[in-house]
A and B are shown apart, each in its own frame.
Chain A
Amino acid sequence: MSDISSKFAVGVNPFAKKRSGIADKLIMVVLISCASVAILATIGIVMSLIFETIRFFEQVPITDFLFGTHWSPQTAITAEVVGSSGAFGAVPLITGTLLISFIAMLIATPLGLASAVYLAEFASSRTRSIAKPLLEMLAGIPSVVYGFFAALTIAPFIRNTGATAGFEISSESALAAGIAMGIMVVPLVSSLSDDVINSVPQSLRDASLGMGATHAETVRKVVLPAAVPGIAGSLLLATSSAIGETMIVVMAAGLAANLTLNPFEAVTTVTVQIVTLLTGDQEFDSAKTLSAFALGLFLFVITLILNVIALKIVNHFREQYD
């Protein structure tokens, strides 16, 4: 008590700004550095990828990498080329990645959208409370499990089906990996689309139902068209995660860098090659090792662009109906 009253003694400003202690300052410094880690991580990623990529392009011309159609980093092109430099044309890897992601989205888009529409528009709250967590579980299962299932069950199934139908399908096919990946991203598509569909205002549904449209007509002709931008955003996010997915393709897609769009053939992807290049014995300065970082940079840039676009679209959509 006496302590407080003394503060109000004549000549002392009782409201004087307390000097913030060293402890307080220290706490703020710690908190700010915690927040900066996210930036440091991004800088770290960009730096490590760019530096190694530059060193790679010192050994292999960038045009060969971006436009070359032959990928075989392990073997020398000709006997005259000294060292271990091989062919570093990334085109087959990029087409392989796109082919598998395309198959995945071909599976995930209808499944995810139809699930989202059903959950958001038709399901009872009981069904919703059961089906939603079950669908989310698909996203919670590690990709190594999907890879194992794709290689062990889906691929032989496709091959046997093909054999009975009379044509030959390789045991590692783009299709098997694409199917597994498609199922894995279904919850991503469905939960994002579910949100988007729910944010379409009820007044639009009322207007349509009020003039005698059936619920399905309302969904098809009013709700979904209104939700298109948001749905497009969710599909882009799903595509980005399919492109960056590694384990499924490592285990089920194969290593052969075929330049093909045939889903029944084995293709390889950017991520598969990164893993292959960096998991053997490696000399750190060889073009072979460095090329993995160039591929990594490519992957980083592509997924970043997709994500930025997707987030922009989704945010714009949200603001529209807020």
Chain B
Amino acid sequence: MTNPFSTEAAGLQGRHTSERLFKLSGLAAIIFAIGFLAVMVGSIAWTGSGALRESVIQLTVDLGPDNVDPSDVDGASYRTIVRDALKASFPDVKSRKDRRKLYGLLSPDAALELKQYVRDNPDAVGQVVNVWLLASDDADIYLKGGVDTSLEESQRKFSDAEVSWVDSLTESGQTKRQFNKRFFTNGDSREPELAGILSSLVGSALTLVICFLISFPMGVGAAIYLEEFAKKNRWSEFVEVNINNLAAVPSIVFGLLGLAIFLNFFGLPRSSPLVGGMVLALMTLPTIIIASRASLRAVPPSIREAALGIGASRIQTTFHHVTPLALPGMLTGAIVGMARALGETAPLLMIGMVAFIADVPKGFLDSATALPVQIFLWADAPQRGFLEKTSAAIIVLLLFLVLMNLLAVVLRRKFERRF
């Protein structure tokens, strides 16, 4: 007896194949999207990992009395000392042009480093010592294998002469790579090897503080009003429509608002974390309101009835009983909103937080920039040395985002209540 319901008897092979293909295409789409994410983050992390190491070159410097006056250590010309040391290492280099190239192996900051070294080691004055000094970005890239020497000399920035100098230094053990502390302790710089993220990180932190201080209380207040007090009427509907639309306004438009109103109308200081935070607060507000309302709605009516039933007023009920229960959910929403604000770039460009900021901002009114804006600026910079800095800054930004989202998840888990 043949089975009338078998796949073959019913001629269903084709239909089952197309079912499998259909399923497979869905899976493929997910894998593609997640694969894109993995490749993007992976390749950026790979490039960025280079920024954690910096190249240093060892030079024999003469701190003898000819160069450094022991009574006036700071008055010495360390630039000359460094250059002399380089000249001494490569006596064949004669022409001015070549010498300038030779000096270019070291960072412009090398002289300052040497000065700091002398301050820290007063005993070294009057002696000839070996010190490690920071290499320039070009030398650094070469040492990290970023220069393709098979290319025609004219095709690359690092000439044959420079290659031979660095090679000879490496052979004699005078180059090494070390952990790049500078990246985390310096502000921005025109020199890639000196550039760091501290100033922009502080700028971002200051901006987020303002953003939180404004958007959280306001968002929670608006949510409490809409959820607990507002009657269903035209007015509350209008407010709701406004909130929903505000959530969908392109971020750059908030920047235009900040420029026209906060800067030009109220005359608040341009480029300041204060204005940046205010603009981001308006952007974050809808997120916080929506999350806060959801978490207020999750508080069961029985709690309100219990409080009202023993004679508490509406306001007492709301503030003593309902809001405390909803607070963790509101905070979670606020953290998610802050994470989004941290990654926001476009509105900050509009209000001038895009300036070159080398110094760490000290207050809310100082000129500052933010981490994503710093990424944008470095990505635009012509020097190749900024490539790995940009990538590393992105990784730092992503780490912060992951941390904030994890915090939100943990908070949600910890305070998740089943009523």
Chain A residues engaging chain B, CB cutoff 8 angstroms: 18, 20, 24, 27-28, 30-39, 41-42, 44-45, 48-49, 51-52, 110-115, 117-119, 121-122, 131, 134-135, 137-138, 140-149, 151-153, 183, 186-187, 190, 214-217, 219-220, 237, 240-241, 243-247, 250-251, 271, 274-275, 278-279, 284, 292-293, 296, 299-300, 303-304, 307-308, 311
Q: Are B30 and A151 in contact (CB under 8 A)?
A: no
Quick check: A41 and B252 within 8 Å, CB to CB? no
Asked if B94 lies at the interface with its beta carbon under 8 angstroms from chain A, I say no
Do B22 and A38 touch (CB < 8 A)? no
Chosen A-B contacts, 17 in total, with CB atoms closer than 8 Å, are: A27-B315, A34-B220, A39-B238, A45-B256, A115-B26, A117-B26, A118-B26, A119-B26, A142-B372, A146-B40, A149-B44, A190-B33, A220-B22, A243-B250, A247-B346, A271-B346, A300-B249
Cβ contacts under 8 Å, A245 to chain B: 250
| B244 partner, pick from A115, A135, A311, beta carbons under 8 A | A311
In angstroms, how far is the closest chain B Cβ from the Cβ of A101? Answer: 12
Across the A-B interface, give the 4 residue pairs with the lowest CB-CB distance, nearest first.
A244-B250, A118-B26, A142-B343, A34-B221
Q: Please determine whether A30 and B22 come into contact, CB atoms closer than 8 angstroms.
A: no
B88 on the A face (CB < 8 A): no
User: B379 contacts A148, CB within 8 Å?
Assistant: yes
Checking B220, B243, B254 against A38 with a beta-carbon cut-off of 8 angstroms, the contacting residue is B243
Q: Size of chain B's interface in residues, with CB distance under 8 A? A: 85
Beyond A278-B350, A296-B256, is A35–B29 a contact (Cβ under 8 Å)? no
A271 and B250 contacting across the interface, CB-CB below 8 Å = yes
**Chain B min CB distance to A198 (Å):** 15
Q: A41 touching B248 by the CB < 8 A rule?
A: no
B19: A residues at CB distance < 8 A: 214-217
B344 close to chain A: CB less than 8 A: yes
Q: Once the chains bind, are B238 and A131 in contact (CB under 8 Å)?
A: no
Q: Is the CB of A24 within 8 A of B379?
A: no
Q: Which of A34, A122, A134, A293 meets B218, CB within 8 Å? A: A34
The answer to whether B343 touches A300, judged by C-beta atoms less than 8 angstroms apart, is no
Q: Is the CB of A308 within 8 A of B43?
A: no
Q: How distant is A247 from chain B, measured CB to nearest CB, in Å? A: 5
Residues of A close to B200: CB separation below 8 A = none
Q: Across the interface, do A308 and B245 meet the contact criterion of CB distance under 8 Å?
A: yes
Contact A35 B239 (CB under 8 A): yes
Contact partners of A237 in chain B: CB under 8 A: 248
Query: Min CB distance, A274 to chain B, in Å?
Result: 6
Whether B327 is near chain A, meaning CB under 8 Å from some CB there, is no
> When the two chains form their complex, are residues A31 and B405 in contact, meaning their CB atoms are under 8 A apart?
no
By a CB distance below 8 angstroms, the chain A residues around B253 are 45, 49, 244, 296, 299-300
| Residues of chain B contacted by A244 (CB below 8 angstroms) | 249-253
Cα–Cα distance between A28 and B224 once the two chains are bound (Å) = 10
Q: Is A35's CB under 8 angstroms from B16's CB?
A: no
- B376 proximal to A (CB < 8 A): yes
A141 pairs with B398, CB closer than 8 A: yes
Q: Is the CB–CB distance between A118 and B349 below 8 Å?
A: no
Residue of B nearest to A18 (CB): B313
* Cβ 8 A contact of A42, one of B32, B245, B251: B245
Chain A's nearest CB lies how many Å from the CB of B226?
A: 6
- In the bound complex, CA of A190 to CA of B33 (Å): 11
With contact pairs A35-B221, A45-B249, A215-B19 given, residues A131 and B30 touching in the complex (Cβ less than 8 Å) = yes
Tell me if B345 is interfacial: C-beta within 8 Å of chain A.
Answer: yes
* B256-A134 in contact (CB<8A): no
CB neighbours (8 Å) of B217 from chain A are: 34
Cα(A272)–Cα(B22), bound, Å:
39
Q: Are A52 and B238 in contact (CB under 8 A)?
A: no
B257 an interface residue at 8 Å Cβ cutoff? Answer: yes
* Contact among A36, A187, A243, A251 for B239, CB-based, below 8 A: A36
Instruction: Provide the residues of chain A in CB contact with B23, threshold 8 Å.
Output: 118, 122, 216
Stretch at the interface among B148-156, B167-175, B282-290: B282-290
Q: By the criterion CB–CB under 8 Å, are A35 and B222 in contact? A: yes
B219 → chain A closest CB, angstroms: 8
Known contacts: A118-B27, A214-B16, A293-B260. The answer to whether A37 contacts B222 by CB under 8 A is yes
Q: Which residue of A lies closest to B347 (CB)?
A: A246
- Chain B residues with CB under 8 Å of A45's CB are 249, 253-254, 256-257
Q: Which residues of B contact A186 (CB under 8 A)?
A: 33
> Is A246's CB under 8 angstroms from B229's CB?
no
- Contact call B44/A145, Cβ cutoff below 8 A: yes
Note all chain A residues with C-beta closer than 8 A to B220: 34
Roughly how many angstroms separate A214 CA and B10 CA in the complex, as a whole number? 13
Nearest CB in chain B: distance from A29 CB, A: 10
A258 to B323, CA, bound (A): 55
Bound-state CA distance A148–B40 (Å) is 10
B-chain residues with CB within 8 Å of residue A118 when the two chains form the complex: 23, 26-27, 29-30
Contacts of A147 in B (CB 8 A): 376, 379
Who on chain A is nearest to B217 by CB?
A: A34
Q: Is the CB of B249 within 8 A of A38?
A: no
Determine the residue in chain B with the shortest Cβ distance to A307.
B248
- Tell me whether A134 and B37 are in contact (CB under 8 A): yes
Most buried by A among B15, B33, B242, B289: B33
Return the contact of B343 from the options A51, A144, A274 (Cβ within 8 A): A144
In the complex, the answer to whether A140 meets B339 with C-beta atoms within 8 Å is yes
Contact A148 B394 (CB under 8 A): yes
8 further interface pairs, Cβ-Cβ under 8 Å (given A144-B394, A278-B350): A45-B249, A114-B25, A135-B34, A138-B33, A152-B387, A250-B346, A279-B352, A304-B245
